[in-house]
Amino acid sequence: MKKLDFEALESTANRQNLLAVKQEIQTRSKRLRKRILHFSRQFSIPEQRYWEALDADPTGPLASTLAREARRQNIHEKHVAAYISSMDQVADFEKLPSVGPNALYLNRDGQDVMRWQLGNAPKLSKSIDFQWNTAGTRCLAAQKYTKEGGGNQDSQFNELELLLRNFAQRTYNGVALFILVDGAYYTEGRLNLLRRLVRLQPPRSYVTSMNSLQQLLRDTATG
């Protein structure tokens, strides 16, 4: 299989979003008018000056600031879902909801439970993103692509650690947990922090990149 290139996917999506702004300029879309009105009021610059600048350069710097950001459109998760579901080792693939009553979590005993089963209790970890079957094993996966560090990213890293800690307490076999991480944020040091929490005996957990997942599933399928 062709490897996933997250940087290229994001760059392509951003270029497409910029071209979409060019079309929005021509049609004076409701979204664009709302954004321009916001900036006009915030900086006391007449709306007409924005439109004049955009008409003059519809794919230029100003237009780029008004384009949708690919990283906020879940493009990584969408491509990952398509990538995993196309693998020969994967059956019954399902992309799970990230929020709502049917979002899936791991409780402190490592058992997977839906949000509605938690009642009023707070969620205990990051939700599970995908599930599928490989050679009779039910596979749960949480996926993250992160380029840079920061408070929110560090919080997400802590949630991945919690998933691994919770899964380590699981007693029921027939399930495996995959933590799929990519991007410059996941340095060798951070990867080692996650790897020290993996469960080495069934039910097993794994920390791997997306482009290493298929070989890992092949190894899992053959025992």
pLDDT at 124: 67
Residue type (1 letter), 15: R
Residue type (1 letter), 176: A
Given a cut of 80, is residue 104 above it in pLDDT?
Answer: yes
Q: For residue 206, how many other CB atoms are within 10 A of its CB?
A: 23
What mean pLDDT, rounded, does the chain reach?
Answer: 91
Domain ranges of the chain: 6-72, 75-221
Alpha-carbon span 102 to 59, nearest angstrom: 41
Give yes or no for a cis peptide into 203 (omega within 30° of 0): yes
Q: Read off the pLDDT of residues 160-184 as tens digits, 9 standing for 90 and up.
A: 999 999 999 998 889 999 999 999 9
Given a cut of 90, is residue 72 above it in pLDDT?
Answer: no
Q: Read off the pLDDT of residues 105-128 as tens digits, 9 standing for 90 and up.
A: 998 889 998 888 777 766 667 899
Quote the tokens at residue 97: 């909801």
State the pLDDT confidence band at 154, using cuts at 50, 70 and 90: confident
Strand order in the sheet with 205-208: 91-95, 130-134, 137-145, 175-182, 205-208
SS3 85: helix
pTM, whole model, 2 decimals?
Answer: 0.86
Given a cut of 90, is residue 21 above it in pLDDT?
Answer: yes
% of the chain surpassing 90 pLDDT: 73
